[in-house]
A and B are shown apart, each in its own frame.
Chain A
């Protein structure tokens, strides 16, 4: 609080990541001297850009075990998710109007599902277990002869838990239902293979993996072929699934970001996991009554979502202005509701208000985490001294035994 000009510490890698300087270097020539339209078929400027796009397509395909022809470039994972859900349901929906997804999906999946519902499609929203994972038996039971698509995210953006993609893929293939997975938070964090996991569609984001903002991809399986109705129409680019001139520099950047991950992700994730475990241990050594949200082991290395009981999240964020993290507290959301993901896990509402998401990434150092842990712990201690709930807990009063006037 005293060091006004201290360098801020970025621990919000699930929100976005800085573009890797190697990615920027790869992109730069495509803004200026190699500026051609990749769809110009009759001159070298176009060919040069097209070549670059196709290299990038291969780099993106490689990291998920796909072939380059199965990659469609989009503006980001939100567009990819919209295209996957609406595109598949509108193509197959006459015979199979049923979609299955999960309550903890990203808002863009849930909102696409809601729009489909309004248009008359049927949607089943699977719940999750206390650890944030879906129940495979529940999924099996939900699939009917009318089900066209199952959409389950690879890694949750708030709590970082990893869904059992391979098992879900098996179930879907057996029942001849397409399987879409939003892997915006999963690419580069876990090993992905669309054939091994029997994934039919996969959404990918650029800016979550040290690539640029404004670019993403949708993997669409060719064998057996998945058909989608385009949501953006025009010149028929991207095999008719997504019209619009391809943004060559952004695509080159996404490709380079995937290429870096193909070479470095194992090492990077091992380093981040050590930092994450170290950070959690330091919190546990200093503070009591803290709870990790989501499965502690089946989660990506860079995500730590902790509830600091008896301290409201927004006030905690105000105290640690120098540290960029996010909170599941209602006061940090426009809706004034606590995180729907945490509530879906059955986390008590009062604990949902006390959560922080700490995201560790490529450029995070141990020193930064030490500083962040110290600052957060000091803030938690200060705010607990001010918290009537903490006082009651210390006196042995059960907060749940009090009749609160909810407002």
Chain B
């Protein structure tokens, strides 16, 4: 979503993005003229008249599970967004019985919070696991 019109979205897709991604952009390119939706989401930069790089992770119930907002010059890390989706999907599948420690990715150790784990996380989770 950006403040550009759908006509400009079409031109950008057809003339540039479709040369980066085979078949063009697979998801809807939303237009937010005037930044009204962006204002509600807190990402509309009034002075510049554009929207910041905001990314909102919304679950199947419509609940915002996380967001990240960057100023224009730095791009996002799509891999991190996907990792967060995977982590929240895992939490949801476990019906909240499992928690994902720092650095978690699919296949790595999850934690099962409970009285027995209090003060014992250091025994099962090592700091280097945040970085590998």
> Do chains A and B stick together as partners?
no
